[in-house]
């Protein structure tokens, strides 16, 4: 891709688990183990996978919340992997993270006005009146009213708290927004309202979204391109509509087949045995082989790499590449 | 099986439940009806605050102290559960006639006992009509085999934290089936699981329940999950039961405006997003009459005055609406 807004090159994040308690041994947990991808300006890029696949770790490592163990992150062509604290603070204006649980990421002792004004106080030199005006505008942009500025977070519903979470980061006019499970825990009717808002805000503020979700239906609806993660790596990447219509990796196939569809009984036999691997002890070779119906000798011996198999589609599987 | 006739196992009539809170009286359930026949899997679906868990808890009479059953009847096999003494409930209903598969496999098992011990306790206290003869340990092994726990003899000494989420949910299902219940209440049993594990658990529940004479009240907010396992669906909204129909009919031909809009708000491949205008009402001051009327495009003045009776629009298909949609 030419001039991606975000370029991630072989990014790894390994955690060391603590030893000692009840005789447990220390282990290296390979939460993120070599991910490369480009995100273009204005894209909504989806990251999907089951719990423990590394999708949230990827989001947090991009932003420097976690220091990467290996690899680089480029923002608008500039390597931001090893910025100093001070430089990182400046950069964070451009890349913002919306946390999974908005209720617990809003300070319960602050009223909404204070919560929304805080980022502006840190990042801009605007005067009090200008900040106040911007805060009011942002409330309206996310579908709330300026009368609600004196309220506290607990006085809002789950859907409204998500709106507040968005309003808070949008005051900084970011370029990239990382949405971590932005609809989990919401009822379907509220979910639809919030998704609509994401779409409106994207056009209005020219945003690029990195959309992390385990909800494949939502990703299908919102994202232009999508990467499927398994065991800390990308197993398949491509245009969402084509990937959903014709998944190539065996894991993508069973993952899509496992989505319960309204009004349609699932066909027998397409379900997947076993559970996702433990990131402290991955199997040798391909990380998916213990659950794979198509495994061959090569799969247990050698790890496949992500290879472009056709226009815009990359797959990490020995059978396909 | 449409819930009528003599085959009714669970019968809930005009159930009205209030919670006394500091902020006022929460009107959690408003004249809700529910029938479950023998061998039937009924899905109770609705968004949060719709009253589905309150209804299930009323059946087991495990509501918190702040709750009050203001009106209504609940019977199991014709026996009045609301009039039953606590001791009878404990001996014959809770954990025996009716068992519960809880939502969260991570907190529902006791962390300080091995799973074998926890399961043998059930056999001792509640019996094991769900499986054959033999000592408690053998029965536990047998039921673990049935829920497809690999090499169960090696697993019974393990503690909950040594098992994965999917395995723990299998054990909770085994525990619910051990006493040979007539009715299993499954409260969002797959919500905490990943989608591939969820598919396995649904497949397992189907194989253990369908055609075995066990009835299930399957509570979920996920309409896709309900599609996989239920015979019949009851849709709840803000404490009222709005519509009930066989599963295929409900999803292909919804007649209540709420059900239709709920289905339309699901994510779809076309990428068009449709939401339901307005918000779920506050149940301290719920809208009078039909509680959906403030958000309903078909509502008129009458809807705010009366709670409609449920009317039958087709066989097994009943709608609580004055102006149901055309077929």
What value does the mean pLDDT take over residues A122-130?
84
Q: What is the DSSP letter of A249?
A: S
Spatial strand order of the sheet with A313-315 comes to A95-98, A176-180, A208-213, A44-48, A225-230, A233-239, A313-315, A307-310
Range in A272-276, B7-11, B256-260 with the lowest mean pLDDT: A272-276
Binary contact (A193, B165; C-beta < 8 A): no
A119 and A168 in contact (C-beta within 8 Å)? Answer: yes
pLDDT surpasses 80 at A270:
no
Q: What is the pLDDT of residue A24?
A: 64
**Has residue A228 been placed in a domain?**
yes
**Has residue A164 been placed in a domain?**
no
The rounded distance, in Å, linking the Cα atoms of A300 and B152 is 27
Across the interface, which of B164, B197, B263 has its CB nearest the CB of A262? Answer: B263
User: Which two tokens mark B2?
Assistant: 């449409």
E strand residue ranges, B22-145: 24-37, 41-45, 67-76, 79-80, 98-101
* pLDDT tens digits, A128-152: 899 999 999 999 999 999 999 999 9
Residues of B at the A interface, defined by Cβ within 8 angstroms: 47-48, 164-166, 194-200, 202-203, 221-225, 227-228, 247-248, 251-252, 261-263, 265-269, 271, 273-276, 279-280
Q: What is the DSSP letter of B17?
A: E
The rounded distance, in Å, linking the Cα atoms of A229 and B166 is 20
Binary contact (A50, B223; C-beta < 8 A): no
Return the biggest CA–CA distance within chain A: 68
The CATH number linked to A90 is 3.40.50.300
**Best to test chain A binding among B238, B275, B281, B283 (most A CBs inside 10 Å):** B275
- Four-residue CA torsion sign, A31, A36, A40, A41: positive
Confidence of residue B125 (pLDDT cuts 50, 70, 90): confident
pTM for this predicted structure: 0.89
Concatenate the DSSP letters of all residues of B116-168 into one string. Answer: HHHHHHHHHHH--TTS-SS-HHHHHHHHHHHTT-SSHHHHTT--GGGS-HHHH
Specify which of A119-133, B130-144, B209-223 reaches the highest per-range mean pLDDT. Answer: B209-223
Q: Which residues make Cβ contacts (< 8 Å) with residue B317, sequence separation at least 6?
A: B243, B244, B245, B246, B249, B250, B255
Confidence of residue A23 (pLDDT cuts 50, 70, 90): low
**Helix (DSSP H) and strand (DSSP E) numbers for chain B:** 10, 12
Binary contact (B267, A195; C-beta < 8 A): yes
User: Which two tokens mark A219?
Assistant: 């990703």
Residues of A at the B interface, defined by Cβ within 8 angstroms: 50-51, 157, 159, 187-193, 195-196, 199, 214-218, 220-222, 241, 244, 254-255, 257-266, 268, 271-273, 275-276
Q: How far is A195 from chain B (nearest CA, A)?
A: 7
- Cα dihedral A91, A93, A99, A104 in deg (nearest 10): 120
CA–chain centroid gap for A214, Å, is 10
Q: What is the pLDDT of residue B1?
A: 44
**Has residue A201 been placed in a domain?**
yes
Across the interface, which of B48, B196, B267 has its CB nearest the CB of A221? Answer: B267
Binary contact (B221, A188; C-beta < 8 A): yes
- Four-residue CA torsion sign, A106, A110, A113, A118: negative
What three-state secondary structure class fits A192?
A: helix
Minimum Cα–Cα distance from B281: chain A residue? A157
**Has residue A144 been placed in a domain?**
no
Q: Which one, of A177, A239, A245, lies nearest residue A211 by Cα?
A: A177
Q: Which residues make Cβ contacts (< 8 Å) with residue A168, sequence separation at least 6?
A: A106, A115, A116, A118, A119
Chain B hits for A196, CB-CB cut-off 8 Å, are 273, 275
Chain B hits for A246, CB-CB cut-off 8 Å, are none
| Mean residue pLDDT across chain A | 90
**Has residue A167 been placed in a domain?**
no
Helix axes A158-170, A112-123, angle to 10 degrees: 20
Across the interface, which of A51, A190, A217 has its CB nearest the CB of B267? Answer: A217
Counting the structural domains of chain A, the total is 1
* pLDDT tens digits, A62-79: 988 899 999 999 999 999
Q: What is the DSSP letter of B326?
A: P
Across the interface, which of B223, B224, B262 has its CB nearest the CB of A259? Answer: B224
Chain B hits for A272, CB-CB cut-off 8 Å, are 196, 199-200
ipTM of the complex: 0.83
Spatial strand order of the sheet with B317-319 comes to B98-101, B183-187, B215-220, B41-45, B232-237, B240-246, B317-319, B311-314
What value does the mean pLDDT take over residues B245-267?
94
Question: A with B: how many residue pairs have Cβ under 8 Å apart?
Answer: 113
Q: Look at chain A and count its residues.
A: 321
Binary contact (B196, A261; C-beta < 8 A): no
**Has residue A104 been placed in a domain?**
no
Residues spanned by the domain of A56:
6-94+174-315
Binary contact (A50, B196; C-beta < 8 A): yes
Alpha-helix runs per DSSP H in B183-271: 195-209, 223-229, 247-252, 257-264
- Cα dihedral B176, A50, A258, A196 in deg (nearest 10): 110
Confidence of residue A13 (pLDDT cuts 50, 70, 90): very high
Q: How far is A319 from chain B (nearest CA, A)?
A: 22
Give the Cα-Cα-Cα angle A252, B229, B233 (nearest 5 degrees): 125
B322 and B302 in contact (C-beta within 8 Å)? Answer: yes
Alpha-helix runs per DSSP H in A180-291: 188-205, 216-222, 240-245, 250-257
pLDDT surpasses 80 at A58:
yes
**Best to test chain B binding among A263, A273, A290 (most B CBs inside 10 Å):** A263
What three-state secondary structure class fits B311?
A: strand
What three-state secondary structure class fits B231?
A: coil
- Four-residue CA torsion sign, A204, A207, A213, A219: positive
**Has residue A46 been placed in a domain?**
yes
Binary contact (B280, A187; C-beta < 8 A): yes
User: Which two tokens mark B204?
Assistant: 């397992």
Binary contact (A275, B165; C-beta < 8 A): yes
pLDDT surpasses 70 at B5:
no
Concatenate the DSSP letters of all residues of A41-107 into one string. Answer: TT-EEEEE--TTSSHHHHHHHHTTSS--SEEEEEETTEE-TT--HHHHHHHHTTEEEE-S-HHHHS-
Beta bridge partners of A13: A32
**Has residue A185 been placed in a domain?**
yes
């Amino acid at each position: 891709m030419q001039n991606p807004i975000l370029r991630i090159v072989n990014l790894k994040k390994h955690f060391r688990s603590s030893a000692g308690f009840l005789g447990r041994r220390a282990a290296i947990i390979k939460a993120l183990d070599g991910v490369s991808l480009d995100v273009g300006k204005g894209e909504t890029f989806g990251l999907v996978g089951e719990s423990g696949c590394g999708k949230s770790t990827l989001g947090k490592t991009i932003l420097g919340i976690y220091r990467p163990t290996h690899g680089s992150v480029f923002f608008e062509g500039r390597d931001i992997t090893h910025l100093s604290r001070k430089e990182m603070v400046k950069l964070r204006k451009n890349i913002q993270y919306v946390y999974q649980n908005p209720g617990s990421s809003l300070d319960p002792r602050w009223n909404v006005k204070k919560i929304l004004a805080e980022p502006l106080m840190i990042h801009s030199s605007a005067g009090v009146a200008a900040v106040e005006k911007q805060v009011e505008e942002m409330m309206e942009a996310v579908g709330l009213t300026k009368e609600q500025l004196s309220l506290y977070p607990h006085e809002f519903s789950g859907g409204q708290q998500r709106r507040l979470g968005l309003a808070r980061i949008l005051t900084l006019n970011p370029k990239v927004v990382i949405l971590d499970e932005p609809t989990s825990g919401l009822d379907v009717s509220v979910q639809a309202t919030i998704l609509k808002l994401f779409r409106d805000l994207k056009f209005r503020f020219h945003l690029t979204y990195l959309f992390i979700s385990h909800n494949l239906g939502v990703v299908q609806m919102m994202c232009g391109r999508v990467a499927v993660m398994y065991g800390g790596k990308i197993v398949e990447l491509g245009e969402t509509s084509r990937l959903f219509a014709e998944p190539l990796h065996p894991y993508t196939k069973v993952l899509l087949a496992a989505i319960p569809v309204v009004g349609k009984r699932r066909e027998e036999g397409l379900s997947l045995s076993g559970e996702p691997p433990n990131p402290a002890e991955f199997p040798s070779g391909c990380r998916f082989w213990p659950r794979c119906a198509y495994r061959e000798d090569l799969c247990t011996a050698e790890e496949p790499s992500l290879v472009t198999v056709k226009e815009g589609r990359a797959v990490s599987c020995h059978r396909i590449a | 099986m449409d819930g009528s006739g003599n085959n009714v196992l669970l019968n809930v009539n005009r159930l009205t439940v209030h919670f006394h809170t500091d902020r006022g009286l929460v009107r959690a359930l408003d004249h809700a009806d529910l029938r479950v026949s023998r061998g039937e899997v009924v899905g109770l679906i609705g968004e949060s605050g719709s009253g589905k868990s309150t209804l299930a808890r009323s059946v087991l009479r495990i509501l918190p102290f702040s709750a009050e059953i203001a009106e209504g009847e609940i019977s199991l096999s014709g026996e009045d559960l609301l009039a039953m003494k606590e001791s009878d409930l404990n001996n014959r209903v809770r954990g025996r006639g009716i068992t519960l598969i809880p939502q969260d496999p991570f907190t529902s098992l006791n962390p300080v006992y091995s799973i074998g011990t926890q399961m043998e306790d059930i056999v001792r206290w509640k019996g094991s009509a769900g499986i054959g003869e033999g000592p408690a340990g053998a029965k536990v092994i047998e039921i673990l085999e049935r829920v497809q726990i690999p090499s169960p003899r090696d697993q019974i000494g393990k503690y909950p934290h040594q098992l994965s989420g999917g395995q723990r949910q299998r054990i909770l299902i085994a525990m619910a089936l051990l006493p040979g219940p007539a009715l299993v209440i499954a409260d969002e049993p797959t919500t905490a699981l990943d989608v591939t594990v969820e598919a396995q658990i649904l497949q397992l529940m189907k194989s253990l329940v369908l055609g075995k004479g066990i009835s299930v009240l399957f509570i979920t907010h996920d309409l896709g999950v309900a599609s996989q396992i239920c015979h019949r669906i009851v849709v709840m909204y803000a404490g009222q039961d709005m519509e009930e129909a066989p599963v295929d009919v409900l999803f292909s031909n919804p007649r209540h405006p709420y059900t239709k809009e709920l289905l339309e708000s699901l994510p779809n491949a076309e990428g068009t997003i449709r939401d339901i205008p307005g918000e779920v009402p506050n149940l301290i001051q719920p809208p009078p009459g039909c509680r959906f009327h403030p958000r309903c495009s078909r509502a008129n003045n009458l809807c705010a005055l009366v709670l409609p009776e449920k009317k039958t629009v087709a066989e097994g298909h009943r709608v609580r609406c004055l102006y149901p949609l055309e077929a």
